Amino acid sequence: MPTIRKTLERRELESLAPYAQRVAESVGRTHFEPQHDYRTAYQRDRARIIHSRAFRRLEGKTQVFLNRTGDHLRTRLTHTIEVSSISRALACALSLNEDLAETIALAHDLGHAPFGHAGEKKLNELMRDHGGFEHNVQSLRLVEIIESKYPEFPGLNLSYEVLEGLRKHDEGYLRPEGKATSAETFLQPSLEGQVANLADEITYYSHDLDDGLDSGLISADQLGELEAWRACCDRVQAEFPQLEGDLYLRYVIRILIDTQVERLVAETRRRIAEAKVETADDVRRHPCPLVAYDPDWKRANLQLRAFLYENLYYHQEVDGANLEATSKMDAVFNHYVNHPELLGREAANRLESEGLYRTVCDYIAGMTDRFLEDEYDRIVSA
């Protein structure tokens, strides 16, 4: 009688596209663990991320607007859940491995610092002479080193393909030898990793726009100059000419997400067919990503991105509040550098292997907005 896991693996072989990453063909984990009877490796990885402390802390971390400044404004946690939902939808439409795409999406922002973009920028400044700070790299540090859950090894011991999907800015993807794979350096991650990356882009463009409108910091009139916004407005007005007010704006955002997904799926299918890839490793060897927008929509998205940076992310009300918050990060960081004995026990245990500044950086990056502000109040009033 086959186990449930083996049944799930057989279903993947029967239903996924030939260029999808099948869990039965995984390189495996850095530290060997026996297979589970009724969950695949990627399903176990997903559970490990969801049950991690770093994942829970995302609820208290700023997306764009400082946490606790509005009931409906997104946090890193709600953003992450939205990215995972879109990743799964894209993977399904392309006959890819939904479990893998979702798992990468759930882990992609684990390394974000408190206080959003401003917090990452400040932490990178503080680490300028000590290796810098970048949230994608920090996400890998969390799942490979910092999360402590198992007595046999550090980190979460995730499958190689999940880690590969988190290495967004690597110039090459060195895959170790596995049970069914040889060692090789690739140009691209899996299609599932590429899907999670573009799902993140779809989510933050659309939903940050939604939060910006909801907060009143940007207006629908300003958006009229954007090609993507105009196209979606035209579609909504054709279907629902009487729609107006907040419901109209919310529905335009919904159509914006749908349109981005539709255009991405169509262009990706075209590129896959043109590239004639037949296996997941063919995808990895391809000279450029295959999950992509068509040129017209890519141009429209770049225009939308530029608008958000100019009018929302560095808006005086957003940037001013975040900069004030990051001055507290500066004080807390330097206090721990001068008093490393005050670090938590697990962080202090990494001082010898990771060095003082990286250990303090890890500790600060892991904080929620509220915890950092509480630490600042405790330190300043001490």
Tokens of 311: 């009018």
Instruction: Provide CB contacts within 8 A for 379, sequence distance 6+.
Output: 331, 332, 335
Q: Where would I find the beta strands (DSSP E) of the chain?
A: 173-175, 184-186
Question: In this structure, how many other beta carbons lie within 10 angstroms of the beta carbon of residue 321?
Answer: 18
Query: Which among 298, 293, 235 has a CA at the least distance from the CA of 265?
Result: 293
Is the confidence at residue 109, as pLDDT, over 90?
A: yes
What pLDDT does residue 2 have?
67
What pLDDT does residue 68 have?
53
What pLDDT does residue 363 have?
96
Interval 97-113 mean pLDDT = 97
CA distance 108 to 84: 10
The overall average pLDDT reported for the chain is 91
Is the confidence at residue 11, as pLDDT, over 60?
A: yes
Which one is predicted more confidently, 190 or 68? 190
The one-character DSSP state at 314 is: T
What pLDDT does residue 335 have?
95
Is the confidence at residue 172, as pLDDT, over 90?
A: no
Tokens of 117: 């973009």
Is the confidence at residue 319, as pLDDT, over 80?
A: no
Task: Compute φ and ψ for 62, nearest 5 degrees.
Answer: -65, 135
Torsion of CA 7, 8, 10, 13, to 10 degrees: 170
Tokens of 141: 């540090």
Instruction: Provide CB contacts within 8 A for 275, sequence distance 6+.
Output: 282, 286, 290
Determine if residue 79 is left, alpha or beta; phi over 0 gives left, psi from -120 to 50 gives alpha, anything else beta. alpha
Is the confidence at residue 381, as pLDDT, over 80?
A: no
The structure tokens 């939904």 sit at 98
pLDDT digits (tens, 9 = 90+) for 13-64: 999 999 999 999 999 999 999 999 999 999 999 999 999 999 999 999 887 6
Return the SS3 of 75: strand
CA distance 173 to 264: 24
What pLDDT does residue 182 have?
81
pLDDT digits (tens, 9 = 90+) for 181-227: 788 999 999 999 999 999 999 998 888 888 888 888 889 999 998 99
What pLDDT does residue 353 have?
92
What pLDDT does residue 382 have?
63
What pLDDT does residue 176 have?
87
Interval 281-292 mean pLDDT = 97
The one-character DSSP state at 3 is: -
Query: Which among 16, 6, 15, 83 has a CA at the least distance from the CA of 41?
Result: 6
Interval 255-284 mean pLDDT = 97
What pLDDT does residue 73 have?
75
The proportion of the chain whose per-residue pLDDT surpasses 70, expressed as a percent, equals 96
CATH number belonging to domain 4-380:
1.10.3210.10
Instruction: Record the pTM.
Output: 0.94
CA distance 76 to 109: 7
Is the confidence at residue 178, as pLDDT, over 80?
A: no
What pLDDT does residue 205 have?
87
What pLDDT does residue 248 have?
94
CA distance 62 to 115: 5
Residue 256: band (very low, low, confident or very high) from pLDDT cuts 50, 70, 90: very high
Return the SS3 of 62: strand
pLDDT digits (tens, 9 = 90+) for 76-104: 999 999 999 999 999 999 999 999 999 99
Residue 254: band (very low, low, confident or very high) from pLDDT cuts 50, 70, 90: very high
What pLDDT does residue 322 have?
74
174 strand-pairing partners: 185
Is the confidence at residue 70, as pLDDT, over 90?
A: no
What pLDDT does residue 45 have?
98
Is the confidence at residue 66, as pLDDT, over 70?
A: no
